[in-house]
Amino acid sequence: MIKEKKRVALLSVFAAVFLTGFKLIVGIVTGSLGILSEALHSGLDLVAAVITYFSVRVSDKPADKDHNYGHGKVENLSAFIETILLLITCFWIIYEAIHRIVSGKGLELNSVQTVFSFIVVITSIAIDVWRSRKLYIVAKKHNSQALEADALHFSTDIWSSGVVLLGLICVKIYEWTQIQIFFYADSVAALGVAIIVLFVSYRLGKKAIDVLLDKAPHETIEKVQKTLATFPEVKLYHSLKVRTAGADTFIKFNIHLDPDMNLRLVHELCDNIEKALNAQIDRSEIYIHAEPQDSFHLESEIPDDL
């Protein structure tokens, strides 16, 4: 498992190195703000990919005396750092695009520059389609938020590169028609990239912060509730708490059982509940506190609805 996660993360790093260099060279040669913004975007993608690579190396280390719940939140921290990098990218793109529009400086390409511009953008789209698909498959397979963040990040790059491609097409239309609106197409395309980056930053950041702040995952809670409902021995349950750390999920709850149930049967029941939850929630650690269903516990505890 760890080897597969590391391998796909490393492939993402190599792809980012290639795309960053390719876009930077073509952007400098052509003077395209759209491509230069994409080069910067890919440069930050490279940083994010490197962070993701090291995070998946660390996140699967077992718990130790200093990290009792393991190292899984390294992945969530990695996703949060990606959000910061995306926001930096966004602010730079917006500044440069508005500056060019206000100054009246558009983009003019000769035939050679146009060819290279189209090549770099189409190549970028093809590579991002490939690596985002690879990352997403492995992320879902191993419940890795760091790889999932990378997959979402690079799938968004597909759309941002598509916006730049549209800008290049509009530049050529301007050369043919001299319609003024197409003169600023490159800068407008760059603003389109910025809007996409803002949207992705919000999604990535919200998800990472929710995990770092131990927000209860509602889907997991519903799975626990439905599972407990399948065990008739469980009279009531309460104090259900769920938190995640990277690919690991920690679940804790109290259950009310028949007071006459012997200890062996209680233990077997708890084992069966754990197995049922483990089958539905990968890498879950379950803690169950069993209590007798009597008047004292009914008055002192407020159970959740089944």
For the chain, the three-class secondary structure string (H helix, E strand, C coil) is CHHHHHHHHHHHHHHHHHHHHHHHHHHHHHCCHHHHHHHHHHHHHHHHHHHHHHHHHHHCCCCCCCCCCCCCHHHHHHHHHHHHHHHHHHHHHHHHHHHHHHHCCCCCCCHHHHHHHHHHHHHHHHHHHHHHHHHHHHHHHHCCHHHHHHHHHHHHHHHHHHHHHHHHHHHHHHHHHCCHHHHHHHHHHHHHHHHHHHHHHHHHHHHHHHHHCCCCCHHHHHHHHHHHHCCCCCCEEEEEEEEEECCEEEEEEEEEECCCCCHHHHHHHHHHHHHHHHHHCCCEEEEEEEEECCHHHHHHCCCCCC
First-to-final CA distance of the chain: 36
The alpha carbon of 227 is separated from its chain's Cα centroid by a whole number of angstroms, namely: 28
Read off the pLDDT of each residue in 168-195 and give the average, rounded to a whole number.
70
Both tokens of residue 262? 């012997």
CATH 1.20.1510.10 residue ranges of the chain are 2-212
pLDDT at 30: 72
User: In percent, how much of the chain has pLDDT > 90?
Assistant: 14
Does residue 239 carry a pLDDT above 70? Answer: yes
Per CATH, is 2-212 categorized as 1.20.1510.10?
A: yes
CATH 3.30.70.1350 residue ranges of the chain are 218-300
In the sheet where 284-292 sits, what is the strand order? 236-245, 248-257, 284-292
Q: How far apart are CA 164 and CA 171, in angstroms?
A: 11
Using one digit for the tens of pLDDT, what is the confidence trace for 283-295?
888 999 998 886 6
Read off the pLDDT of each residue in 147-175 and give the average, rounded to a whole number.
73
Both tokens of residue 19? 């795309």
Contact 233, 268 (CB under 8 A): no
Q: How far apart are CA 159 and CA 248, in angstroms?
A: 31
Q: How far apart are CA 220 and CA 208, in angstroms?
A: 17
Residue 2 CB coordination number (10 Å): 12
Query: Considering only 70-84, 140-154, 168-182, 232-246, which range has the smallest mean pLDDT?
Result: 168-182
Residue 179 CA: distances (Å) to CA of 114, 115, 170, 189: 19, 22, 10, 17
Both tokens of residue 217? 């995952």
Task: Please identify which residue in the block is written with the tokens 């089958």.
Answer: 279
Query: Considering only 102-106, 221-225, 264-268, 287-291, which range has the smallest mean pLDDT?
Result: 102-106
Q: Band of the pLDDT at 297, cuts 50, 70, 90? A: low
Task: Please identify which residue in the block is written with the tokens 């390294």.
Answer: 74
Residue 170 main-chain phi, psi, to 5 deg: -65, -35
Query: What average pLDDT is seen over the chain?
Result: 78
Question: Whose CA is closest to 153, among 297, 15, 45, 274?
Answer: 45
What CATH fold (topology level) applies to the domain 218-300? Alpha-Beta Plaits (3.30.70)
Residue 191 CB coordination number (10 Å): 20
Whole-prediction pTM value? Answer: 0.63
* 16 or 173: which leads in pLDDT: 16
